Structure 1
Amino acid sequence: MKINAVLPEKGRDLRLDLFRGVANWAIYLDHIPDNVVNWITTRNYGFSDAADLFVFISGYTASFVYARMMLERGFIVGATRLTKRVWQLYVAHIILFVIYIVAIGYVALRFSDPEIINEFNLAGLAGDQAIETLRQGLLLKFKPVNLDVLPLYIVLMGLFPPVLWLML
């Protein structure tokens, strides 16, 4: 089987790092309410925002890294490394998810404002459905406010090995 993939030179592409960093700053600015500076972000001038740009650039970068690995070492090695990366992202998400829940719960109790729990979409944890909500969180289906991009990226990266193999 002949593979016609053309890959860039080895090493980091600083242009991709630059635009991924700009996307991260735009995501940060978009999450600050009533901020004049976020008027310069792409959220206001199109159908997508910086999170879409970040996921796209990250996938583009992953295709370079893991395609080279698959070509040089085989599909199994490349798929295993991708799966390892997905696992690292999943563990990071679970840790962030727990810290997020604890932080919002603490703020709601500290300031005696249970409405904060509703504002951050954590109401399912306060009632009878806490176990089901946590299960949905572990399955990446339950997403509190501002925690929706990482589960999307984890799912896309999990589906990426066969897609990359087909692309090659």
Structure 2
Amino acid sequence: MKRQWEIDALRGLMLVLMTLTHLPTRLTDPLGQPFGFVSAAEGFVLLSAYVSGLVYSRLAQRQGIGAMRRAFGKRVFKVWLAQAATLAFLFTIIAGLGVRIEQPAVTNLLTYYLAQPRDAFLSGLLLVYEPPLLDILPMYIFFMLLSPWVLGFALRHGWSGVMVLSATLWAGAQFGLSEWVYGIAASHFELSVPYGEMGSFNTFGWQFLWFAGLCIGAGRQAPDAKPLRFPNWMAALAAAVALYCLVWRHFGEHGQAPFGGDAELNLLFDKWRLGPLRLVNLVALGILALRFGPGLIERLPRLHALEAMGSASLPVFCAHLVAVLLTLALYGDNQLARPVWGDALLLAGVFAWLYAVARLALWWEGRATPPVSAAN
């Protein structure tokens, strides 16, 4: 089975958008959530889950559930090593620089670590403490740990029960389920890590996106799988929703906060809980991508740089964090800290670094023409 280069290119695009969002430059705000009230994180998680469902369900069909679970376990260990290495970089080099030059962008990022270094280090390795910017991989690891059991159950009994439970947990996340569970855990296990230091992403909300992607990917492997098609009226409705959100995002008076200072209404589009209107925006974009994407792919040239970064997405993701953290340590989080030409040089250097990491990773793994894999 050949690798789907278009999926790699899309993941590469998500990594580019994440980098542009996290690097403090003049492009941070304009290119944050560029397609409406949806960020690159949603696209990256959904694509990763889709590829996981596609690959690991085929592995289960060919070699059995046990082989599928072992493959998931190897992947989890690899991602945990990447998270541990990134944490070590943050807690040593970046923390040292930040404290030495009194850089608020770093010290504010590491408030808990600087106050409780031993507890923060150990709980960071256990994926309990998740500093800002380093909270995506722990969530990814948790979903990957659950996936072999969920996928094994779904392959035997179908996806209906799984998705009903997943949707229920997502709904609970909108009404404080995570905070309630944290309160119980803190009281019974003497949990010392504050709730606000356990990552920005609400796991109960985002698991719905992961398992939806896993379900879609696994469904593509079914012997009787039919192409995903949508009636014209649905595509037209999706286009109207996507266009409305796009205009609202870029030409509304509040930018990325759709309702300005109204915190309650903004929760409807909340990124961290994966709010309901945010999901509507994401579904609309997904329908348009499936409806018009194949035609665009036939007409557009292949972007090999994006493919390379998407194919080696784990090392490239970690490399982007290294670049962002170094920039924060040296320049702070002021988006206007450099002149325009300085931003241009910074972005050129960072993306050259990411592409070099991608090529090196692919060379190291000997994958000039790799098969489809969820390993990156």
Question: Shorter-chain TM-score: which interval?
Answer: 0.7 to 0.9
Aligned to 2:315: none
For residues 118-168 of structure 1, the C-alpha deviation after alignment (integer angstroms, 9 at most, x for no partner) is 321x222223x2222122211212111211111111111111101111232
Consecutive unaligned residues of structure 1, counting only runs of 5 or more, are 1-9
Cα deviation, residue 116, structure 1: 4.2
| TM-score, reference length from structure 2 | 0.39
Of 20, 23, 45, the residue aligned with 1:29 is: 20
Aligned amino acid, residue 102 of structure 1: T
Q: Is 1:136 paired with 2:127? A: no
CA change 1:22–1:95 in 2 (3 A) is: same
Aligned to 1:166: 153
**2:51 is paired with a residue of what secondary structure?**
helix
**1:42 is paired with a residue of what secondary structure?**
coil
Aligned to 1:125: 113
For residues 86-145 of structure 1, the C-alpha deviation after alignment (integer angstroms, 9 at most, x for no partner) is 01100111011101111222212431x06344321x222223x22221222112121112
Of 142, 145, 156, the residue aligned with 1:155 is: 142
Output the CA distance in 2 between the equivalents of 1:101 and 1:14.
Answer: 36
CA contact 1:29–1:35 (8 Å) conserved in 2: no
- The within-5 A match list for 1:1-168 is 10-36=1-27, 39-42=30-33, 45-46=36-37, 48-111=38-101, 113=102, 115-120=104-109, 122-127=110-115, 129-168=116-155
CA change 1:117–1:41 in 2 (3 A) is: closer
CA contact 1:69–1:77 (8 Å) conserved in 2: yes
Output the CA distance in 1 between the equivalents of 2:142 and 2:29.
Answer: 28
Aligned to 1:4: none
Q: Greater shift after overlay, 139-148 or 78-87?
A: 139-148
**2:128 is paired with a residue of what secondary structure?**
coil
CA contact 1:23–1:54 (8 Å) conserved in 2: yes
Identity of aligned residues (%): 27
Cα deviation, residue 57, structure 1: 0.2
CA change 1:163–1:54 in 2 (3 A) is: same
Output the CA distance in 2 between the equivalents of 1:136 and 1:43.
Answer: 34
CA contact 1:16–1:57 (8 Å) conserved in 2: yes
Cα deviation, residue 38, structure 1: 5.2
Consecutive unaligned residues of structure 2, counting only runs of 5 or more, are 156-376
Q: Greater shift after overlay, 100-109 or 54-63?
A: 100-109
For residues 27-79 of structure 1, the C-alpha deviation after alignment (integer angstroms, 9 at most, x for no partner) is 00000224236524535721x31012101101100111111110000000110
CA RMSD in angstroms, aligned pairs only: 1.9
Output the CA distance in 2 between the equivalents of 1:76 and 1:99.
Answer: 35
Q: Which has the higher contact order (CA 8 A, sep 6+)?
A: 2
CA contact 1:94–1:138 (8 Å) conserved in 2: yes
Output the CA distance in 1 between the equivalents of 2:147 and 2:80.
Answer: 15
Aligned amino acid, residue 125 of structure 1: Y
Structure ID, larger Rg: 2
Across the two proteins, how many residue pairs are aligned to each other?
Answer: 155
